[in-house]
Structure 1
């Protein structure tokens, strides 16, 4: 009774929300996009979107208990975390939506770890796994995004699946239910879908060390050379210690050709906003130049740091393998 009364107060407090919220939801929110390689249910619209380059999340492997206890059984994972709230077409059921997601994930090679349907299997008030203000799943921003699953939640369905490929682990959590929205009735009486991916681990490094001779040959023939032996952590610009062998070869090349001046160019994949990635890639390029100058005695005036983010990919960003190829440092002859 207390919970119902609280929700009623929420609804009453939002009854005078701006009229703009009552419009049709037929466009994705600006800056949002689907998880690479994972299609959305046809006709769905993105209401909320959040990408964290590094975060943690609890993967449900058992039913929902309550906001204090969380899931009956869960597993904590860390990595690049993407959260999306979709609004499915008005005439679709959670059964149809979830079956489509499960089929799509199976075709991609994901293994189901946990699934449930209705409150008996998923847990009473499982909608609070998203709506409750203490839950880390909840997306902020507009009230219509915050208050998904806030009132009546019918036919809830949940799926957790994992793909382990080439050292990269993708954990996907999908929650779908027909729900009402306390912020805007136009976003209610239809299925909302919360999709989360946490991408952890790293691709197996199959790129061989590029020695000074090979770098010089590539610069002579193409004016540039791509290097995968300069490493960074998620969302960080500090050069990792494991990068030293590649840095040594870069310094050897520059010392062997004292007249050579180069651009050191940072590249990222397409995860995250372009403006942010431009700054990150530039900071990484600056860190490489600084390391060559400080640790190997290369004159700073011979190097110019630039960041191109994801503007010059060498592979598709639709897969982790492609994204790994796009994350690189290049030497470009000035």
Structure 2
């Protein structure tokens, strides 16, 4: 069917509008970064490099963090990691800065190191360029969801192109209430989401303050446990504490152990499973093994310290296989890390 003059004009009008829209999109540029992102602030123990701006910020009341203690390695696709890590847990603050233009990562890192050592921190590990291993920015962010900041694309695409002169510093400050670990990673880079955040040094700072967990789980008394076991067949226990990644029961667990012993002493015919549970952070087999060792530690404490017959207690480690809520948040993960009494 032949085009009418009206149809031809309509096609031309639509094509013209499309070209104008394309031209407008091509001319649109991301807004320049001129101030810290809303709600962000420096950590009181770690000053910023003068003239830097915060483009990424996140805090957690309590988190588990791998502390890099060696260079990055690349054994295969999406398996990049650090050669050696230590573990820390506590309140966590992550900050992503862009330094002023025409600064080098050497200059920026020297300033951070001098400031941190002057504040009483001790160096645990440091590296630069090739000595940091294979593309250290990738296991630091791209293959490490716990470090990557993704609230917006400017955060997500830090170190996304032309990364050079990589440098990392890991320091520790010992305090009576618990140590503080600080990881500083700096590199000259481009940011594909916003060019104004690129062609300059970006600085990622990860701070973990151990000994800062809120003790929010109350001790469950023996009568309440007896009622819940009779009604539900199980009782969640949050008052048994372990050090991160260990199966040694901490001294502050004594009040809850005493209540568990009272329950068993008052009900001599009661036999229970001591079930250990973890969150979903880490490998499944490892978490199942860790939860088994923790359950066994509780059985040992009840038998050796309180005289409960071993035949009445059976330890089972379930790892992350029976969560009580989602592991998507730290509050959820805290609820999933527990010991349970399950009536046999």
Picking from 91, 99, 105, the partner of 1:80 is 91
Q: Deviations over 1:144-169 (max 9, x none)?
A: 11000011111000000000011321
Task: Work out whether 1:60 is the aligned partner of 2:68.
Answer: yes
1:1-334 equivalences under 5 Å are 19=28, 22-66=30-74, 67-118=78-129, 120-201=130-211, 233-234=213-214, 237-239=216-218
Q: Tell me the CA shift for residue 133 of structure 1.
A: 4.8
Q: d(CA) in 1 for partners of 2:124 and 2:26?
A: 40
1:262 aligns with none
- The answer to whether the 8 Å contact 1:128/1:150 transfers is no
- The answer to whether the 8 Å contact 1:129/1:137 transfers is no
Q: Tell me the CA shift for residue 237 of structure 1.
A: 3.9
Structure 1 residue ranges, 4+ long, deviating more than 3 angstroms after superposition: 16-20, 236-242
Q: d(CA) in 2 for partners of 1:87 and 1:197?
A: 17
- The answer to whether the 8 Å contact 2:181/2:209 transfers is yes
Q: d(CA) in 2 for partners of 1:42 and 1:19?
A: 30
Q: Tell me the CA shift for residue 239 of structure 1.
A: 4.8
Q: d(CA) in 2 for partners of 1:71 and 1:133?
A: 11
Q: List runs of 5+ in structure 2 lacking aligned partners.
A: 1-24, 220-238, 240-251, 256-344
Q: TM-score, normalised by structure 2?
A: 0.53
1:257 aligns with none
Q: TM-score, normalised by structure 1?
A: 0.55
RMSD: 2.5
- The answer to whether the 8 Å contact 2:62/2:91 transfers is yes
Larger radius of gyration: 2
Q: Deviations over 1:123-158 (max 9, x none)?
A: 121111344154421001111110000111110000
- The answer to whether the 8 Å contact 1:17/1:183 transfers is no
Q: d(CA) in 1 for partners of 2:47 and 2:165?
A: 23
* SS, match of residue 40 in structure 2: coil
Q: Give the aligned length.
A: 197
Q: d(CA) in 1 for partners of 2:28 and 2:63?
A: 35
Q: List runs of 5+ in structure 1 lacking aligned partners.
A: 1-15, 203-232, 246-334
Q: 1:27 to 1:76 in 2, by over 3 A?
A: same
